[in-house]
Amino acid sequence: MKNFAAPAQSLGELDVDAAAKLIAMAADIALVVDHDGLIRDLAVDHRDFALTGHEHWRGRPWIETVTEESRPKIAALIDEALSAERTRWRQVNHPTQGGEDVPVLYAALRIGTERRLVAFGRDLRTISSLQQRLIEAQQRLEHDYTRLRHLETRYRLLFQLSDEPLLVLDGATDKVVEANRAALRMLDGGSNGLVGRSFSACVEPGSSSEVDRLLATVRATGRADAAELRLAGRSERWRVSASLLRQENAWVFLVRLLQLDRPAAPEPEGPDWAGIVEGHPDAMALTEVDGTLVSCNAAFLELVEIPTIEQAKGDTLDRWLGRPGVDMRVLLSNLREQGQVRLFSTMLRGDYGSETDVEIAATATDGAHPYYAFTIRDVGRRYAPPGTPRAGGAGTGPVVTPSAEQLSELVGRVSLKDLVRQTTDLIEKMYIEAALEMTGDNRASAAEMLGLSRQSLYVKLRRFGLRDIGDGGDGGGEDGPPPSEDGQGPEAPRS
């Protein structure tokens, strides 16, 4: 900085008040600091610059009025001003009660012989605001650049992966600027010699005028248009559509090529659904909306005991369901209202008298002619182990009495008479087991507790398969011949 040439003559009449006004006008904030760093006086421009609490700075150390990270700069300013003629400008931050720091640019100058300093401060909030706005603008610009790069990447990916031949033509010269892989394969054999050529050179000579007319129409109207023509070296007819696009300060044409007499592509060979249905382990049936059987697989024929599908066609599924007139009506009603049925428990009867506990899932098919598809799963093994006779059914060995849960599931499947009999058997078996457990397996005591004769207890033990007859568990050693079924005496010989 160059000083005044003759300060004694030009500023010789400058008194203390004038000097103070000059210093106050020269800075947004001016501080008078002694050699110990204490603020002796200050002047603040209240119109443009005001610090909350600055009126209490007199007598406080200058270093305590700034933020923690700015204190080394204040110490360096004081040391430099006391030892040198001038100091560098340093930016420090003053804290405020609102939490926002106020940036101030300071320079200090030693005056007089008492080693006092005058610090000149400039408010940097306007510059800081401009810097912040510049940073935000740069960030927005970078965000826009990133978005444009992503858009360009997606455009180029779609452009190159398209199966349709696509070309970009210069709007002024009609030359090819860009072409995707499909266009290069069709018009140039896969090389890059297509770029830079006129599009008219890519069509048959008789179609060049048609190309010129198409591009001129699109250029004049700004709307997309199309034309049919033949390409050079190819016998197929092509539909060429062109659109006008704005690119920076120029116009380009986006040209699409579509083959008109392209042979129909063979439909992809799908899975063999008929084979899958036929080999499915669960029974499957297809019916009309009224329940009439249309088709079924071998597992269904095995359940209903019919050798061929021709013998089952034309009958309704209700013919084999456990509750005639009830189950089918419920199934069809749910299919019409909801479109599907899941886990519908019932019984399937075979033509030769077999009965199988099943769960049915069904759905309605779409199309001009709707059908109902049924999947029927054998769940009999959930109720009894394989090979075990059904409750109350014929067979050798002990009769298995169903559990209470199984009995509740039989409601509606069997008659009330059979259901009551099976329920009675279940209760008798439970009481007999409890009596034998309480008497330590003494049959005489158990019979007395139950109010039965010993012969009647033997009959029931054999009926329910609880004990072998004559195993010596009566506590009294009274073994004898097996009683008859009516409990009245020895079993009669059978013819």
Tokens of residue 138, six digits: 């740069």
Q: What angle do CA 32, 37, 42 make, to 5 degrees?
A: 25
Tokens of residue 177, six digits: 């600027």
Question: Would the pLDDT of 239 be above 80?
Answer: yes
pTM: 0.36
Exposure of 96 in the CB half-sphere (CA atoms within 13 A):
11
Q: What pLDDT is stored for residue 275 in this prediction?
A: 67
- Predicted confidence band at 322 (pLDDT cuts at 50, 70, 90)? confident
Sequence-ordered list of residues with C-beta below 8 angstroms from that of 243, at least 6 positions apart, any chain: 218, 224, 253, 254
Question: Would the pLDDT of 196 be above 70?
Answer: yes
Q: Which of 45-49, 78-82, 387-391, 437-441: highest mean pLDDT?
A: 78-82
- Distance, in Å, from the CA atom of 402 to the CA atom of 51, rounded to the nearest integer, reads 93
Question: Would the pLDDT of 337 be above 60?
Answer: yes
Exposure of 159 in the CB half-sphere (CA atoms within 13 A):
15
